[in-house]
Structure 1
Amino acid sequence: MDTFVKERAHAPDQFFEAEAAGLRWLAEAESSGGARTVRVVDVAPGRIELERIHEARPARDQALAFGRALAITHDAGSVTFGAPPTGHSGPLYIGSREMPAGTAATWGAFYAPNRVLPFLDPALTAGNLREEEAVVVREACALLEAGALDDGEPPARIHGDLWAGNVMWSADGVVLIDPAAHGGHRETDLAMLALFGAPHLESILEGYQQVHPLRSGWSARIPAHQLHPLAVHAAGHGRSYGVELTAAARRTLALAEC
């Protein structure tokens, strides 16, 4: 197997171990038809060795197949919202930022305090979010934490950082890399694909719904599920993300008025 190594001399505690655990957890669903996940060859503090994926041009038929496979991975489930990959008891990360490892029995009670609010203070400190905007985001989080968008869906086994750069297209189909895997809501992964413009997104969604039809109104809820990645980016990637985060929070608040 052709492999490559990622190394980081001063990696945070269990940084690559968390990535390996997430990849292996997602890969457990492959035997049932779940999404293909890059193979972990070896992991140690400060380094991870992975299967090398040779990229190819995205294709519609692969997008359809990936959508179907992603639904199966999500359906593999998790013990609760926020649960880490099986066997991993250390910190969780999205990119280079640590994520809280809190759990809850309902999605909103997990999502708002563990995936959105922790990134507001860093975004404020960086100057990418203004105080009056943070008020709007906190109002949206209070709405979610109170259960306004809870729907009875069981926790899904989500990738957690499913932007287009973590969806690799190969001659053999799509391969997932670099997860922030945990028990979450299936719509969060789909919202992140939409946020950063995955190739053939309409076909991915078509394939997904062939396996697991989405609940009515899912597209209107996209802004609520984009609060997490937008908050993460507002913490370190520029003022524009603070503006987008606030806009998504306002659209989330508007859902309660419908």
Structure 2
Amino acid sequence: MSGLNQTVLSLLGAEVARARPLHGGDLSEVQLLSLTDGRRVVAKTGPLVAAEAAMLGAIRAAGVPAPEVLGVAGHVLLMEALEETAASAAGWQALGAALRQLHSVTGPQYGWAEDYAFGAVAIPNAPLPDWPAFWAGRRLLAAPDALPRDLRLRIEALCARLPELLPAAPPAALLHGDLWTGNVLFSGGSAYLIDPACYWGHGEADLAMLHLFGAPPAAFHEAYGQLEPGHEARRHIYQLWPALVHLRLFGAGYRGMVDSRLASLGF
């Protein structure tokens, strides 16, 4: 009996009849399992699945749709299987409302109870009370030695200006932390958040990530509601972090994304 089959049997009391890979496995393996008792579940395998399970629980506790965690053991996370449908206006509206609800839940400081990672890129989350200091030290300059020297110098110059460019103490909202459309599962008129990298921070960071590879439609914005003045000027500061992650994970093809954000900010 395979290790996965044994884990499923111990957690759910049934064996795996069939398995097929699902999309979204760039940094971990994700499979749809059909069990011998007729149930279908999603299995995700990776080193940080227990942390992900806790994040999914936090999202659901906030009243926001996310897959139900069915069990965790070792490197295996088992979740409910959801029927995926194409994005619709109703789905985008549901995502806007869900994200507004998520961001209405706030924590005591910026950060999270434990660190996380995107593959080989560590995400330090040790809490800080100052938001510009968090964005500089825990995000943009979390690993300065991993950056090309010219980029590091430009980012250091930007970080020295962050107290002027970012609010000092925005509400410490519950963030998804990796919110691009591939991490939203539309199902009918609902929108479920998947593959989170949660922490407490400025809600605009999630919105900036959602705009990194395209703009959500009007239905999303109408449901999310009014944004704070100056949000467009801050967007490239917040997009710089996922751009740096992509550069480190996937190589020089993402250098232009980093350069364009820095240049737009004058660095």
Sort the TM-score into its range (normalised by shorter chain): 0.7 to 0.9
CA contact (8 A) 2:72 2:78 kept: yes
Displacement after TM superposition at 1:111 (Å): 1.1
CA distance in 1, matches of 2:218, 2:120: 30
For the pair 1:61 / 2:99, whether they are aligned, the reply is no
**Structure 1 232/74 Cα, relative in aligned 2: closer, same or farther at 3 Å?**
same
Look up the SS of the partner of 2:109 in the other structure.
Answer: coil
For the pair 1:186 / 2:199, whether they are aligned, the reply is no
Displacement after TM superposition at 1:143 (Å): 1.6
Q: Partner residue of 2:45? A: 7
Q: Partner residue of 1:133? A: 151
CA distance in 2, matches of 1:246, 1:139: 14
Q: Residue by residue, what CA displacement relative to the aligned partner does 1:4-26 show, whole Å, maximum 9, x if unpaired?
A: 21124xx3xxx111111111111
Letter in 2 for 1:3: V
Q: Residue by residue, what CA displacement relative to the aligned partner does 1:71-94 show, whole Å, maximum 9, x if unpaired?
A: 11111112211133xxxxx43223
Structure 2 unaligned segments of length 5 or more: list them.
1-38
Q: Partner residue of 2:212? A: 195
TM-score, normalisation: structure 1: 0.82
For the pair 1:215 / 2:228, whether they are aligned, the reply is yes
**Structure 1 49/147 Cα, relative in aligned 2: closer, same or farther at 3 Å?**
farther
Alignment of 1:1-258 (within 5 A): 2-8=40-46, 11=47, 15-30=48-63, 35-84=64-113, 90-95=114-119, 97-124=121-148, 131-144=149-162, 146-150=163-167, 152-197=169-214, 200-209=216-225, 213-253=226-266
CA contact (8 A) 1:136 1:246 kept: no
Q: Residue by residue, what CA displacement relative to the aligned partner does 1:22-41 show, whole Å, maximum 9, x if unpaired?
A: 111111111xxxx3111111
**Structure 1 171/244 Cα, relative in aligned 2: closer, same or farther at 3 Å?**
same
CA distance in 2, matches of 1:214, 1:152: 16
Q: Residue by residue, what CA displacement relative to the aligned partner does 1:176-201 show, whole Å, maximum 9, x if unpaired?
A: 00100000110000000000226x43
Q: Partner residue of 2:5? A: none
**Structure 1 253/184 Cα, relative in aligned 2: closer, same or farther at 3 Å?**
farther
CA contact (8 A) 1:193 1:201 kept: no
Q: Residue by residue, what CA displacement relative to the aligned partner does 1:34-57 show, whole Å, maximum 9, x if unpaired?
A: x31111111122110011121101
RMSD: 1.9
CA contact (8 A) 2:115 2:126 kept: no
CA distance in 2, matches of 1:147, 1:160: 23
CA contact (8 A) 1:119 1:235 kept: no
Letter in 2 for 1:218: H
Report the identity percentage.
31
Displacement after TM superposition at 1:112 (Å): 1.2
State how many pairs are aligned.
Answer: 229
Displacement after TM superposition at 1:95 (Å): 4.9
Displacement after TM superposition at 1:238 (Å): 2.0
Letter in 2 for 1:16: V
The structure with the larger Rg is 2
CA distance in 2, matches of 1:175, 1:219: 26
Considering Cα pairs closer than 8 Å and 6+ residues apart, tell me whether 1 or 2 has the greater RCO: 1
CA distance in 2, matches of 1:91, 1:44: 19
Letter in 1 for 2:62: A
CA distance in 1, matches of 2:262, 2:141: 12
Q: Residue by residue, what CA displacement relative to the aligned partner does 1:77-119 show, whole Å, maximum 9, x if unpaired?
A: 12211133xxxxx432235532112221121111111012124
CA contact (8 A) 1:158 1:182 kept: yes
**Structure 1 202/237 Cα, relative in aligned 2: closer, same or farther at 3 Å?**
farther
Displacement after TM superposition at 1:245 (Å): 1.3
